[in-house]
Structure formats: structure tokens, C-alpha cells
Amino acid sequence: MKERLQLYFIKNQRSSLRIRIANLLFKLLTCALYILRVVTEGNPIDATCYECEVGNKTEYQKSSNLTEEEFQENPIINWEAILWVNRPLELWLVQVVLACVSLAEALLLAYLGYKVMFFSTLLPVSFAV
């Protein structure tokens, strides 16, 4: 089984090229979905956990008007805006599926590449004439 996977993913140039092109398309789609999420995201000051009421955010609204020097003196960071990203469920599902596919492919290629490189260094093939 390992030999077939190595042949398909690494040694066969045609299938390897197809896999790399598909991987590139997955990465580009992931970037496009991230841009879509950022564009459709609301005001980060109003960020909160799902189905939680938005609390008093006047401190964050005031800090958004500070200059860079004033912010450096008294940094106020809205951690809820970093932790809770409001996005549609469908977009989240597509992003998770793409991330899982990309991770599985990267792990498989790393495993197969490691085995190929490991055995090729242990058993060097020399063609003596």
C-alpha cells in the first residue's frame, strides 16, 4: 500500500502534478474564503460569544480613537474580537473541510516523503558500468 501511495503521490510526475495543482487551488480557495469572511465581518467592537449579549463596550470605542502613542501608553485590547469571530455556519464548514483536507494531504506527503528519503539514504543504488 505504501509503495502505491508513494508511486501515486511522489514518483509519478503526472499524478504528482495534479495533486500539487489541486493543493494550490485549495490554498487559493482558502485565501479567498478568508477574505470573504473578513469583508462580511461586522464591527469587531461588538464581538461576543455566540448567543451572548453584547456588554458595555465604551472602553473599546474610546480606544479606537486613540493615537498610536496614546495606545502604546495605555493598551486596551478587545480579546473577545480576537477569540469570537462571527461568520456564517456554511462558510465555517467549508473552511474547516478545506483545512482538514489540506492538513491530511500535507501529513500524508510528509510521511511518504520521509519514508522515501529515509530508505533512499539507507539503500543507495549505484549503477556500476
Give residue 96's pLDDT band: very low, low, confident or very high (50, 70, 90): very high
What CA–CA distance (Å, rounded) separates 46 from 64? 13
At 47, list the grid cell: 464581538
Q: Is residue 13 part of a domain?
A: yes
Range of the domain at 17: 2-122
Beta carbons of 48 and 55 less than 8 angstroms apart: yes
Q: Each residue of 7-25: pLDDT tens digit? A: 667 677 777 788 888 889 9
Higher pLDDT: 83 or 30? It is 30
- The helices-and-strands tally (H runs, E runs) of the chain is 6, 0
At 24, list the grid cell: 494550490
pLDDT at 37: 85
Mean pLDDT, range 30-39, rounded to an integer: 89
Mean pLDDT, range 89-100, rounded to an integer: 91
Q: Is residue 53 part of a domain?
A: yes
Number of domains in the chain: 1
